[in-house]
Amino acid sequence: MSKKQLRSIDAAFVAFGPSAVAIRDRLKHLTPADDKVLRLVGEHLGRLASLDLKARCADGLGHSAEAWAARKQGLTAQSSSRWAGSITKASHDQWALSRRCQLSHIQGLEAGVATLAHRLSQPLGERGTKRAPGGYRGKGEWFHKSRRLAALQHRLDVARAEAEAGRVHVVRGGRRLINTRHHLDRAQLSELEWRQRWEAQRWFLAADGESGKRFGNETIRVSPDGEVSIKLPAPLVHLANARHGRYVLASVVAFTHRGVEWRDRILVNQAVAYRIHLDVARGRWYLTAAWRRPVVQTIPLQAARAAGMVGVDTNADHFAAYHLDPHGNPVGEPRRFFYDLSATADHRDAQIRHAISRLLHWAKRCSVAAIGIENLDFTAEKTREKHGRKKRFRQLVSGIPTGKLKARLISMAAAQDLSIVAVDAAYTSMWGEEHWRKPLTSNKRKMSRHDAAGIAIGRRALGHPVRRRTAPPHDDQSDRCGHRTAPAGPEARGREGTRPPVTERAHDARCRTGTQRTRETSASNTVRDARSPRTWHQMPPLDTVQERLEVHVVGRGSTRFT
């Protein structure tokens, strides 16, 4: 691969720490009255949230601060000012999220249309290159792809028109759950069970925090000893069991995870957001507390590299990790942390958390301060227009949990006082296979392509080039093999490319580098009419046999008589 074909490689950087924290605890020992009040409040506020989201979507791009204030004022009479603020903010965030998803969908359609149009313009059977795909194999495939191009172009036109008009598609309760209504037998649910889940998902029991207010939240207040009280909406004030229209639950929460941090925060009246939701399948109520933290870089890059690095290659079913010392040398044996992403969403999330936990514990035992990982982003690489018939590769790319992995890994690593160094993913698997798999493979160690990629990622995170140093030639073979090319420094451009072939002789290397020679090399005796740089001096004739013998011994280096 020539240097012109290599794309630029971004520099490694230390990922920022988590920007928010969320903890959850179960509301135990709720009385029937508590359960009834929570259901009534959630149902009432959920209906208001649905109406407000409908109004926000109707405004589209014409939304303004005055429209927001008018919607909030209309909701205040049916709930309270704080409940109205939480509902309108949730509607605005939901519309903004749908808008971002719409723009991402348009980008995917544009990429698919461009690829199909290019391949349809090529002759049948035209071979592709690394930069651009070729034509289709036959007329049948060409015809089907032309019909798909027409369908994608129609979807793109519709999506663009909706984006220009500010129209988005939002489902309160989740699109997956509403589609389950048409496949109850496959989901093994009855209509009543599905209805209960649908209604519970559409309830609204969430309140944003307020700094400076008592315990950081006036709507859903949790005291340091775990007492939970709710500000009831105006139509349900008659159900209050405390002053100022509040209802105190019989359950007491105790956050075991980050409980000290949560308690320190509410004691100084800093904002904490709360959400109460019902798990219909288990019949349990839960309380989630969340707050923001300042986004700061954990440690400088040089400090992260000081104690070595653990390079991690992300795959569809496992993490391939390798420990490297500060000089980029592999230490010990490769490690693999497997997970299964073939079941439900909760199972996949648990599998990822378990694999990350094992990875972080092993990194702590290696006494490193950071973990190097690829900065993967497959948002535009999943379409079949991009990879053609490579269905297994598309499934592999789609199966890698890039988005959820980033958030989980950064958050869990920060809890273990470990930093994450993100590196460019370009050529890590290819160069790891080329430079590290074969040298490290032995009778007692089996190296895979992913293990070698972990070494390449770790070396790039440490600031070293991926390639290994070439072995020096023998002393008597310097003219044939050429001198060893020393690794380039971290500041040299193109340093991670493959070593160019050495076609010149070793004595030409100093001429290419501009250094001064200490001795001129004479021309070969086998070259006819070659000019020699030596200066020849005429010697007097030799008279004796002894003088002739000494000249022969000195000149030829041999004691053979002639």
Kindly report, residue by residue over 422-432, the tens digit of the pLDDT: 998 888 989 99
**What separation in angstroms does the CA of 197 have from each of 178, 344, 389, 419?**
10, 16, 39, 39
Share of the chain above pLDDT 90, in %: 55
Among 42, 64, 9, 487, smallest CA distance to 287 is for 42
Banded model confidence at residue 273, pLDDT cuts 50, 70, 90: very high
Report the pLDDT value the prediction gives residue 518, as an integer from 0 to 100: 47
Range from 53-67, 225-239, 499-513 carrying the lowest mean pLDDT: 499-513
For residue 234, pLDDT beyond 60: yes
Task: Choose between 164 and 411: higher pLDDT.
Answer: 164
Mean pLDDT within 12-40: 91
8 Å CB contact between 439 and 330: no
Mean pLDDT within 61-79: 92
Report the pLDDT value the prediction gives residue 275, as an integer from 0 to 100: 96
Mean pLDDT within 392-412: 68
For residue 277, pLDDT beyond 90: yes
Pairing status of strand 370-374 against strand 309-314:
parallel
For residue 294, pLDDT beyond 80: no
* Domain covering 298-462 in this structure, CATH number: 3.30.420.140
Report the pLDDT value the prediction gives residue 561, as an integer from 0 to 100: 38
Report the pLDDT value the prediction gives residue 12, as an integer from 0 to 100: 87
First to last CA, the chain: 56
Between CA 130 and CA 430 the distance in angstroms is 14
Report the pLDDT value the prediction gives residue 257, as an integer from 0 to 100: 86
Report the pLDDT value the prediction gives residue 311, as an integer from 0 to 100: 95
Mean pLDDT within 398-418: 76
**How many helices and strands, by DSSP H and E, does the chain display?**
19, 13
For residue 378, pLDDT beyond 50: no
Mean pLDDT within 147-174: 94
Pairing status of strand 370-374 against strand 419-423:
parallel
Task: Choose between 12 and 501: higher pLDDT.
Answer: 12
Mean pLDDT within 448-476: 81
| E-state strands within 417-494 | 419-423
Range from 354-358, 366-370, 413-417, 554-558 carrying the lowest mean pLDDT: 554-558
Report the pLDDT value the prediction gives residue 199, as an integer from 0 to 100: 95
Range from 92-101, 221-230, 515-524 carrying the lowest mean pLDDT: 515-524
Report the pLDDT value the prediction gives residue 126, as an integer from 0 to 100: 86
Report the pLDDT value the prediction gives residue 467, as an integer from 0 to 100: 80
Range from 247-256, 303-312, 314-323, 465-474 carrying the lowest mean pLDDT: 465-474
For residue 227, pLDDT beyond 70: yes
Report the pLDDT value the prediction gives residue 558, as an integer from 0 to 100: 42
pLDDT in tens, 85-135: 999 999 999 999 999 999 999 998 998 899 899 999 999 988 887 777 888
Banded model confidence at residue 377, pLDDT cuts 50, 70, 90: low
Task: Choose between 235 and 405: higher pLDDT.
Answer: 235
- SS3 per-residue string spanning 136-197: CCCHHHHHHHHHHHHHHHHHHHHHHHHHHHCCCCCCCCCHHHHHHCCCHHHHCCCHHHHHHH
The residue ranges of every structural domain in the chain are 20-292, 298-462
Banded model confidence at residue 508, pLDDT cuts 50, 70, 90: very low
Between CA 423 and CA 544 the distance in angstroms is 78
For residue 549, pLDDT beyond 50: no
Q: To the nearest whole number, what is the mean pLDDT of the chain?
A: 82
For residue 347, pLDDT beyond 50: yes
Between CA 476 and CA 210 the distance in angstroms is 79
Report the pLDDT value the prediction gives residue 41, as an integer from 0 to 100: 96
Mean pLDDT within 322-342: 91
